[in-house]
Amino acid sequence: MAMATPLLPLLLLLLTLATVSADKFTVGDSKGWNPGVNYTVWEKKNRPFHVGDWLVFYYQEGMADVVEVDEVAYNKCDASNPITNYSKGRSFAFELNHSQMYYFICSYGYCYQGMKLAIKAEPLTPPSSPLSQKTSSAPSIVPRSAAAVTLASAAAALTALLRLV
């Protein structure tokens, strides 16, 4: 049917844009941020992480905390010199703002059994479609909000087209 043809590029556009949207990761999934979970395994299962993604730590108040440290302190389970220290409430959301390594440990002694998390936030890459290759000299980072607006309008256009069919 003739109407189906214009839908294909739109669908491809939607799929491409969907891959650059920010993700929210619950650290440890249903196990949360607790002793006895191997977060190295969790990280391998959930990578890659990107700038703009969120990590959400759920922990038991008074039983655990989330301490951001550097690599040396991470390797030694040393929480004495934290970059940041989150111990209030039962959950904590952390945005991966920069393309870098992030290290988190628990300062309650469980770090030695694996309650530690090292995460690399990868830079955002532009969609590798023929469209973006034409403008490859342009800045390579598409702002999230712009991508979201494009996605929303593409979705609206697709919905309108589907109504026509």
- Taking CB under 6 A as the binding criterion, the range among 7-15, 25-33, 87-95, 129-137 that sits at the site for ligand NAG is 87-95
Please count the helices (runs of H) and the strands (runs of E) in the chain: 5, 8
Quick check: bond before 127 cis, omega within 30?
no
CA distances from 63 to 40, 91, 107, 110, 131 (A): 21, 12, 10, 10, 51
Closest CB 108 distance from ligand NAG, rounded Å: 9
**Closest CB to ligand NAG among residues 58, 110:** 110
Give the residue from 125, 124, 122, 127 showing the smallest Cα distance to 49.
122
Cβ atoms 25, 99 nearer than 8 A: no
85 binds ligand NAG (CB under 6 A): yes
Closest CB 124 distance from ligand NAG, rounded Å: 15
27 binds ligand NAG (CB under 6 A): no
87 binds ligand NAG (CB under 6 A): yes
Closest CB 39 distance from ligand NAG, rounded Å: 8
Residues interacting with ligand NAG, by CB under 6 A?
38, 40-41, 67, 79, 82, 85, 87, 94-95, 97, 107, 113-114
